[in-house]
Amino acid sequence: MELLKKRILEDASVYEGNVLKVDSFLNHQLDVGLLDAMGKEFKKRFSDVPVTKILTVEASGISLACMTAVYFNVPVIFAKKSNALNMEEDTYNSKAYSYTRSAEYIMKVSKRYIDNNDSVLIIDDFLANGEAAMGLIEIARQAGAKVVGIGDAIEKGFQKGGNMLREKGFKVESLVIVKSMENGNIIFEE
């Protein structure tokens, strides 16, 4: 998506540990016009699959998930992050390792909001090692829901998540794929 590539080149910065900071338009201040264009693009790319719910994880996936949900006209569910290991009976739970925080966390979704009639589209801001996506897939599995696709704004193609999920047979759509960002020089895949 050319608009997003342009914005990354203009406003993103590369931090230690291959972390791309996009706080000025996606992760802290939100460019709603750009988010809207991204939601519309996801609708185009996933127009061939049935979607009953959009599933993401708090907090940075929520805005993009909401703008996407407008185009699909379906609800958004965001998994809540928790450090508590105790498993509650009324939630589906899974574990993921946070790339940016270097710590494990638990994701929880109430059993009230997802079930075996659902076809779920997973949306997130970044795809790195695929930990967040795998955690959300596990929640869908526990609910008996079908995962019909995984959409993310920025895939870091030099990390393993995208390929791992595609090899498992998921339809993965990334609006941009960063091939490398060595020395702060961001290069995209075509």
Residue nearer to ligand 5GP on the CB measure, 72 or 105: 105
Q: Considering the complex, what minimum distance in angstroms separates the CB of residue 161 from ligand 5GP?
A: 4
Under a CB-based contact definition with an 8 Å cutoff, are residues 153 and 4 in contact?
A: yes
Q: Considering the complex, what minimum distance in angstroms separates the CB of residue 116 from ligand 5GP?
A: 25
Residue nearer to ligand 5GP on the CB measure, 3 or 14: 14
Q: Considering the complex, what minimum distance in angstroms separates the CB of residue 14 from ligand 5GP?
A: 8
Q: Considering the complex, what minimum distance in angstroms separates the CB of residue 136 from ligand 5GP?
A: 10
Residue type, 122: I
Structure tokens that stand for 93 in this block: 């739970």
Residues that bind ligand 5GP (CB under 6 A): 19-20, 22, 27, 60, 99-100, 124-132, 161
Under a CB-based contact definition with an 8 Å cutoff, are residues 107 and 42 in contact?
A: no
Residue nearer to ligand 5GP on the CB measure, 115 or 189: 189
Residue nearer to ligand 5GP on the CB measure, 20 or 114: 20
List CB contacts of 141: < 8 A, sequence separation 6 or more: none
Under a CB-based contact definition with an 8 Å cutoff, are residues 121 and 53 in contact?
A: yes
Under a CB-based contact definition with an 8 Å cutoff, are residues 123 and 65 in contact?
A: yes
